[in-house]
Structure 1
Amino acid sequence: MDRRNFLKLTASAAAGMLVVPGFLYSSSLVSINDNANDNILVFIQLNGGNDGLNMFIPFEDPLYYFNRPNIGVAKDTVINAINGLGFHPALKDLATISQNGHLTILQNVGYPDPNRSHFRSIEIWQTASDSNKYLHHGWLGRFLDIQCKDDHLSSLNIDAIDNLALKSPGINGITIKDFNAIRKMMNQDETVKFSDNPQLDFVRKISFASTEGIVEINKALANAKNYNEVYANNGLSKNLEWVSKLIKGKMASRVYYTSLSGFDTHNNQLQKQANLFKTLNDAVYSFYNDMKANNLLDRVTLVVFSEFGRRVKENGTGTDHGTSGPMLIVGGKNKGKIIGNNPNLESLNNGDMQFETDFRSVYATLLNEKYGFDATKIGIRQSKLAGVF
């Protein structure tokens, strides 16, 4: 096995030091039992700042079209209209999920003193910090660090880079960008030999532990080999298909994370966003149908969010960085409601929508409702929301 390539695929790095992901140890990889209380969270991060006004469109508000004469979504194309709000036409299957009662839309989600920098704002979302404070560990990582001490829970990030939301002082998750490459590596054979060189021995021990973890991943994939649900043909859909296989294969991870990039739509927004929404729609609907068909929809909660929304007024063919926007929750016995008011385009803060729900209240709700966990233990002071689950 090519250890260098293996570590590129699986190992985490922090401050120049290679960290052994706790998720990889076989003692942490106990199988999920079939208890309905074994809940799982799956996150899709929309990178770039998704324009929520063109996602769930306030088509009955004349100010929407006044501010967006070029990029406003035509009223006659809006679907599944409810109380003056409708879905973008590319989100037709999300509209179906909503009609089935399995989609909750949280409107106007943001935080005080918003930051319009992609890097800083996503850092705030991933650490659940105040906008003027800096934390080194993620909100999910801090949660899992407490839970894993007894229950050996951990996380899996499907992406090309590690995710700060999953970073913790102790237990670390694993980031994998290519399951097929890892599966090929497991077909190769190499005996791990330890030396008297402490530095070399450390790296080899990491490789050995990683191999044990990947064996467990392959066991989960083997357990799920008889599941053959059809998924849409796009990258996000493929990532969710891997998540599904690991869940059905009874992998121990309780948190899965992946992302979709391209939402920084400063220009040509209508076409770019339509393409992105189709990708998101098709991937989520594939995953939803899979979970539903295999009686997993009550246990698995899918959360979709972005680091900020866009400005209300267009800049010509696009929009600039804004503040608040919608979050989506699919499955997990959510109540299928729209929580929050329609965007108020009359009362703007320097051209931006004012946030109504602090995103950390959503986090507190997820941790409390899905795991019975008190979010104040990880520094989240905001109260949980009513009516989500």
Structure 2
Amino acid sequence: MNRRNFLSLTGTFTGGTLLLPNFLHAFGSSKSIITGEECVVFIQLNGGNDGLNTFIPFENPLYYDLRPNIGIAKDKVIGKTNGMGFNPALKDFAAMQQNGHLSVIQNVGYPEPNRSHFRSQEIWQTASDSKEYINEGWLGRYLDIHCHEHQPTAGINLDAIDNLSLKGKQPNSITVKDPNRFKVRKDSDETQKLSDNPQLDFVRKIASSVTEGSDEIQKALKNSKSEITYPKSGLAKNLEWMARLIKGNLNSKVYYTSLNGFDTHDNQINSHGRVLTELNDAVYSFYTDLKEAKLVQNVTIVVFSEFGRRVKDNGNGTDHGTAAPMFVIGGNNKGSIIGTNPNLTDLDHGDLKYDIDFRSVYSSILENKLHFDPKNIGIKNKTLAGLF
């Protein structure tokens, strides 16, 4: 087994108790958890969220002409400002925006968009061009440079599967399904002697660091509690775990999770309303929890999807499209609506044309929240102004 494959195995835990023999702990432990107060939480909406029914151009008659079956009625739109407003399922998003804690970035996308879920997610997760293929994720590349040595909890992915965004040359992130069950223990029957084999010692060093990661997670959970009652949903549970880890001073720089259900080809009014409600309730609980802990200014929440939907409905839903809004909550963002309202008269084969490249948003986050030069990981797009 080569080092890279071993790192992939040691960097991922989806719950349960991992048994490691003692010889894998023999290299010792160096307390190398990242210090610093700010962190970024990413919530990925899988399936392609319909941006036009999320942040709605209710004053544009073309919206209703092109969406006679699924358009959200004007009197149901909330948080209205400058001809735009939120889906009624996002009542707390609207409140956070009006309170100055949520920014909307309109018409986000990239040149030559790809309408495949898997490829477009890959583009967003690696920050590549549409025809460029990169093995490491943009956050993984950031952590490779930021972490001076292997730091297994520099990034935390709350999910059942790994996320390409966090993949780097070194395993500086861990995928955990249930942090409460993520415990590493020793097998006392194994020897603790070091070998004369550099590769084996390398394995021992990595495993020791993973053990440290488990210890740090358990310490953070012990030092924190939930201040509020979260909704009973998968996303809410993941965000509750994140709040516990942040309040427990785990000091991870990046947290990541996802929500499925946004591929709304059919029955969109009902299905989209359900997933937006889950998103709204979970995120607002997380925001409230952090706010009560006086941490919301240190935590930046980024909500995005791999693409939007086509402008015209298909009768009962929408098909794969291109540009869509992103939302940024907390982190002392300016609470602005950035960009122009969607242009429904100038379409690209029925799709919205993007105005803001998603990598410009990444650049702003790296510069302003992670204090890192985006050019060091190959992001050359101009930093989005007005977000922080």
TM-score w.r.t. the length of structure 1 is 0.88
Higher alpha-carbon deviation: 160-169 or 102-111: 160-169
Equivalent residue letter for 1:314: D
User: Alignment partner for residue 190 of structure 2, among 168, 193, 199?
Assistant: 193
- Deviation of the 1:149 alpha carbon: 1.3
1:4 aligned residue: none
Equivalent residue letter for 1:89: P
- Deviation of the 1:151 alpha carbon: 10
2:216 aligned residue: 216
2:176 aligned residue: 176
> What are the superposed Cα offsets for residues 330-357 of structure 1, whole Å, 9 maximum, x if unpaired?
0001000000011110000000000000
1:158 aligned residue: 158
What are the residue-to-residue correspondences of 1:302-317 with 2, within 5 Å? 302-317=301-316
Tell me if 1:30 matches 2:27.
Answer: no
- 1:161/1:387 Cα in 2 relative to 1: closer, same or farther (>3 Å)? same
Asked if the contact 1:144/1:171 (under 8 Å) is kept, the reply is: no
Asked if the contact 2:313/2:319 (under 8 Å) is kept, the reply is: yes
User: Aligned partners of 2:58, 2:131: CA distance in 1, in Å?
Assistant: 36
2:361 aligned residue: 362
1:271 aligned residue: 270
Asked if the contact 2:227/2:289 (under 8 Å) is kept, the reply is: no
TM-score w.r.t. the length of structure 2 is 0.88
- Deviation of the 1:74 alpha carbon: 1.3
Asked if the contact 2:308/2:321 (under 8 Å) is kept, the reply is: yes
Unpaired runs of 5+ in structure 1?
Answer: 1-12
Equivalent residue letter for 1:21: G
Equivalent residue letter for 1:149: H
User: Aligned partners of 1:204, 1:16: CA distance in 2, in Å?
Assistant: 11
- Deviation of the 1:19 alpha carbon: 4.4
User: Aligned partners of 2:375, 2:215: CA distance in 1, in Å?
Assistant: 36
2:67 aligned residue: 68
Equivalent residue letter for 1:380: I
> What are the superposed Cα offsets for residues 127-172 of structure 1, whole Å, 9 maximum, x if unpaired?
0000011000011111111111179571000011111101111243
Equivalent residue letter for 2:163: N
- 1:114/1:328 Cα in 2 relative to 1: closer, same or farther (>3 Å)? same
- 1:281/1:29 Cα in 2 relative to 1: closer, same or farther (>3 Å)? farther
- Deviation of the 1:56 alpha carbon: 0.6
- Secondary structure at 1:344's aligned position in 2? coil
User: Aligned partners of 2:375, 2:76: CA distance in 1, in Å?
Assistant: 44
Tell me if 1:327 matches 2:330.
Answer: no
1:339 aligned residue: 338
- 1:169/1:208 Cα in 2 relative to 1: closer, same or farther (>3 Å)? closer
- Secondary structure at 1:352's aligned position in 2? coil
- 1:279/1:307 Cα in 2 relative to 1: closer, same or farther (>3 Å)? same
User: Aligned partners of 1:212, 1:294: CA distance in 2, in Å?
Assistant: 26
Equivalent residue letter for 1:216: E
Asked if the contact 2:179/2:217 (under 8 Å) is kept, the reply is: no
What are the residue-to-residue correspondences of 1:126-165 with 2, within 5 Å? 126-149=125-148, 154-165=154-165
User: Aligned partners of 2:7, 2:371: CA distance in 1, in Å?
Assistant: 34
- 1:206/1:95 Cα in 2 relative to 1: closer, same or farther (>3 Å)? same
User: Aligned partners of 1:125, 1:337: CA distance in 2, in Å?
Assistant: 23
Higher alpha-carbon deviation: 162-171 or 301-310: 162-171
User: Aligned partners of 1:189, 1:372: CA distance in 2, in Å?
Assistant: 38
What are the residue-to-residue correspondences of 1:236-255 with 2, within 5 Å? 236-255=235-254
Asked if the contact 1:103/1:328 (under 8 Å) is kept, the reply is: yes
2:297 aligned residue: 298
- Deviation of the 1:228 alpha carbon: 2.7
Asked if the contact 1:55/1:87 (under 8 Å) is kept, the reply is: yes
- Secondary structure at 2:147's aligned position in 1? helix
Higher alpha-carbon deviation: 198-207 or 162-171: 198-207
